[in-house]
Amino acid sequence: MVRTKNSFDTDWLFHKGDIPIRYAVKAGMTGGITDCEKLEEGDWLDIAFVDKSVDADSVPKDWVSVHLPHDWCIEGDYINDPNLGSRPASSGYLPTGIGVYVKVFDIAKADLGKKISLEFDGVMRNSTVWVNGHLMGTHTSGYTSFMYDLSDVLRYGDEGKNVVCVKVDATESEGWWYEGCGIYRHVWLTKTERLHVAHWGTYVTTPVVTESYSDVRIRTTVENAYSISAAALVTSTVIDKQTGEAVGSFSSGGLIDSVSNRTFEHTVLVVDPKLWSPDTPHLYQVLTEIRDRDGKVVDVYETTFGIRTIEFTTDRGFFLNGKPLIIKGTCNHQDFAGVGVALPDRIIAYKIELLKEMGSNTYRSAHHPATPELLDACDRLGMMVIEENRKLDSSPEGIDNLKRMLYRGRNHPSIIMWSMENEEILEGTVMGARILQTLSDVTHAIDPTRPTTAALNHGWNGGGYAEAVDIVGYNYGQREDQDVNDHVTYPNRIMIGSESASCTTTRGIYETDEIRGYVPAYGTVYPSWGCTPEKAWSDVVQNPFLTGIVVWTGFDYRGEPTPYEWPCINSHFGIMDTCGFPKDSYYYYKSVWTNEPVLHIMPHWNWEGREGELINVRIYSNCDAVELRLNDVSLGRQTMIPNSHLAWDVPYESGELTAIGYKDDVAILEKRVATADAPNQIKLMPDRTTIQRDGKDVVVIRVAVADAGGRIVPTADNEILFKIEGSGTIIGVGNGNPSSHESDKSNRRKAFNGYCLVLVQSNGAAGTINLRASSAGLATETITIETV
């Protein structure tokens, strides 16, 4: 057998709240409990540690069965307590606390002698892991991966059952946004022979890239965990992932001392390389095979990579594969409606797809390293990534977390720069500069192929701070033209608009509502440090040296309900809401970020009782000119102002607003917004009608309330009840309402301005999934999802 890496996500038992875990029975001992050292009866955990024949069925009642990824915070009730989290409202008014996970598992006798490890992609946060009563370790950061070698402390075959226990203490926070609680990313059980590729043991770079060939350099660290030296033959085969064909290969070998590592370096020539870019996310793979002295293959390891070049300039912006490319980015935290931070892989990919459809090409993982599956999705779908370290911290733990981010991420072609920190208070100081320099140096040593950056806000020019990174990030640099002025003063500085806009809007809301905490969607409200989307983008268009902008944020997220607090529980910064429903500003970005013709009218046209009042109508478009008509009467044609919007003040009368977009004087596009009648029916709009039958895949179903004519009712707030049958489960609901205190873990949800969302996951069984949506007074709708 060669390497296996199996999901360890299913069938955990979870207990919310603290449990005294007596892992070290005798003072002075590291841990580990033998079967004769029985502790107090009745404490299931202790019994689990000592009793070889523990039966998962004998679990006390308050343990619930969960599958990972899991976020217990999102299951809680909203509490008006401003002290929850690091800043008022930062955890979205959801309590955090302590939780304990346990999983009982078998390891076959045949696995004795192998190296067996458990890898956690991310646990929020401060987790301690015991296996069969042995303390494996504590990992504080909720954003970096960690693994433990379990080989010595496992029970093999009839030695007994194995129990892993994970205590998670999420009482303290690491950020000022919703971070969730629990084992919210995947867990993997990996088994290898004792001679194997080390953890994160390959590093693939492309030092030479031309149109006709590329040198692919592969450094492979092989670990010999035997107590005698071992001979290894390492073969690296480069495979085109699209065709599956091997395009080149290289082998070398040598002796590796006992309990040691050795790094082998190979170069493989790839002819006519297919370059990775957001438009053509072409991927290659290195297949590493390790043979022992008998020629037997003892390990096979896969590394995905891409061939591409990146260049950042002081004056002309960014070049990908030698061609200029403006960074059209969004900053994002992790969470999503219905699931908190425990995103199934499909939801991660769904979010990236939505951002891509808008024309965004860059994702800033703010302010922490991303989930590995997000990096995979960005590689695959074509989204560049600014991968960010959580803190400005050069303590041993800080460096350790930075290294985990770098080793884990450095083969991903999507990552184009490493951000060392965001808005730390030591920015602009000499002490801060020393710390930042250390982080930058560590990063350059581990990955010299990408520049370092930092997202600065507290002083760009003091203490030599900005000089400690390759690219200086300007968060909200448009304030007093700081970015433009600095470009003149520091002409050798490479700059990026690392964070911008922070414009607050609520989907489908066009008037301030301080009681319910809603911000009008016109895009005119932003904090003192922010600006309108139009200003943020125009800045870059006028100042190419800015490299691009990374808008705060792509999606609303829980916490930071600026400009309000309770009853608001989530932010308003998103271009899309927490469900991924576009707000009006989405169409602004799409109009300036894509070449697709865009024509968008706002607001809706349901203003009953306001007949004759002037309503401000706005158009986002990339046409040359737009004509607006109300009930077939022209309100005039206006020439589009590039990177801006058009506006009309229209006396309200019910009916239909029509916008006609012209290119070169030819009408190319028409959009209508009509007054909807009363709610009459439900519409279900799944993102796909066939999903994988793997217990993981998710169908994202947009739910709308429509009138009898099928027009979405933009003010509808009907509560929709979902009933599911067949091979799927409802894993969450949402509606994007920043002040809704309904639970996301439910089978019902009110619409918010016409829409809500339901997430349905395959339960692993064969067959179809039927979802029925009903609501008092509305025609019921049912859809069928196939599983394959």
Q: Which residues participate in catalysis according to the annotation? A: 423, 499
CA-nearest of 198, 299, 289 to 235 is: 289
Handedness of CA 224, 226, 227, 230 (dihedral sign): negative
Q: Is 304 in the site for ligand GAL (CB under 6 A)?
A: no
- Distance of closest approach, residue 457 Cβ to ligand GAL, in angstroms: 5
- Distance of closest approach, residue 455 Cβ to ligand GAL, in angstroms: 7
What does the DSSP assignment read for 526-594? Answer: --TT---HHHHHHHHHH-GGG-EEEEE-SB--BS--TT--TT--B-S--SB-TT--B-HHHHHHHHHH-
Alpha-carbon separation of residue 723 from 682, 706, 729, 742, 782 (angstroms)? 14, 20, 10, 18, 9
Closest to ligand GAL by CB, 377 or 525: 525
Among 173, 334, 452, 475, which residue sits at the site for ligand GAL (rule: CB under 6 A)? 475
Closest to ligand GAL by CB, 122 or 561: 561
Sketch the per residue contact string, 36 through 65, with ligand GAL: x for CB under 6 A, - otherwise.
Answer: ------------------------------
Closest to ligand GAL by CB, 411 or 502: 502
Q: Is 178 in the site for ligand GAL (CB under 6 A)?
A: no
Closest to ligand GAL by CB, 423 or 781: 423
Compute the chain's Rg from CA coordinates. 28
- Distance of closest approach, residue 529 Cβ to ligand GAL, in angstroms: 6
- Distance of closest approach, residue 556 Cβ to ligand GAL, in angstroms: 12
Q: Which residue is nearest to ligand GAL (CB)?
A: 502
Q: Is 143 in the site for ligand GAL (CB under 6 A)?
A: no
Among 527, 544, 567, 764, which residue sits at the site for ligand GAL (rule: CB under 6 A)? 527
Sketch the per residue contact string, 421 through 440, with ligand GAL: x for CB under 6 A, - otherwise.
Answer: -xx-----------------
- Distance of closest approach, residue 473 Cβ to ligand GAL, in angstroms: 10
- 3-class DSSP state for residue 481? helix
- Distance of closest approach, residue 526 Cβ to ligand GAL, in angstroms: 8
Alpha-carbon separation of residue 379 from 119, 374, 375 (angstroms)? 22, 9, 6
What's the CA gap between 255 and 262, in Å, rounded? 8
What are 548's two structure tokens? 């691009």
What are 489's two structure tokens? 């003063």
What's the CA gap between 89 and 216, in Å, rounded? 48
Q: What is the 3-state secondary structure (H, E, C) of 246-293?
A: EEEEEEEEEEECCCEEEEEEEEEEEECCCCECCCCECCEEEEEEEECC
Q: Is 502 in the site for ligand GAL (CB under 6 A)?
A: yes
- Distance of closest approach, residue 498 Cβ to ligand GAL, in angstroms: 9
- Distance of closest approach, residue 495 Cβ to ligand GAL, in angstroms: 17
| Size of site (CB under 6 A) for ligand GAL | 10
Q: Which DSSP symbol is given to 119?
A: E
Closest to ligand GAL by CB, 335 or 423: 423
Q: At what angle do helices 372-381 and 345-357 cross, to 10 degrees?
A: 40
What's the CA gap between 451 and 547, in Å, rounded? 14
Name the β-bridge partners of 117.
149, 190
For residues 755 and 703, is the Cβ–Cβ distance under 8 A? yes
For residues 59 and 13, is the Cβ–Cβ distance under 8 A? yes
Closest to ligand GAL by CB, 475 or 680: 475
Q: Does the bond joining 282 to the residue before it have cis omega, within 30 degrees of 0?
A: no
Closest to ligand GAL by CB, 289 or 388: 388
The whole-angstrom distance between residue 399's C-alpha and the CA centroid of its chain comes to 23
Closest to ligand GAL by CB, 169 or 560: 560
For residues 295 and 252, is the Cβ–Cβ distance under 8 A? no
What's the CA gap between 778 and 364, in Å, rounded? 42
- Distance of closest approach, residue 678 Cβ to ligand GAL, in angstroms: 39
For residues 12 and 101, is the Cβ–Cβ distance under 8 A? yes
Among 174, 335, 499, 627, which residue sits at the site for ligand GAL (rule: CB under 6 A)? 499
For residues 276 and 308, is the Cβ–Cβ distance under 8 A? yes
- Exposed, middle or buried, 527 (CB in 10 Å: 0-12/13-18/19+)? middle
Closest to ligand GAL by CB, 330 or 422: 422
Residues 370-389 that bind ligand GAL (CB under 6 A): none
Residues 405-424 that bind ligand GAL (CB under 6 A): 422-423
What's the CA gap between 141 and 398, in Å, rounded? 9
Sketch the per residue contact string, 82 through 101, with ligand GAL: x for CB under 6 A, - otherwise.
Answer: --------------------
Sketch the per residue contact string, 559 through 598, with ligand GAL: x for CB under 6 A, - otherwise.
Answer: -x--------------------------------------
CA-nearest of 645, 627, 647, 646 to 635 is: 627
CA-nearest of 458, 455, 467 to 496 is: 455
Q: Is 552 in the site for ligand GAL (CB under 6 A)?
A: yes
Closest to ligand GAL by CB, 46 or 387: 387
Among 453, 457, 718, 737, which residue sits at the site for ligand GAL (rule: CB under 6 A)? 457
- Distance of closest approach, residue 242 Cβ to ligand GAL, in angstroms: 38
- Distance of closest approach, residue 51 Cβ to ligand GAL, in angstroms: 48
Closest to ligand GAL by CB, 464 or 527: 527
What are the residues binding ligand GAL (CB under 6 A)? 422-423, 457, 475, 499, 502, 527, 530, 552, 560
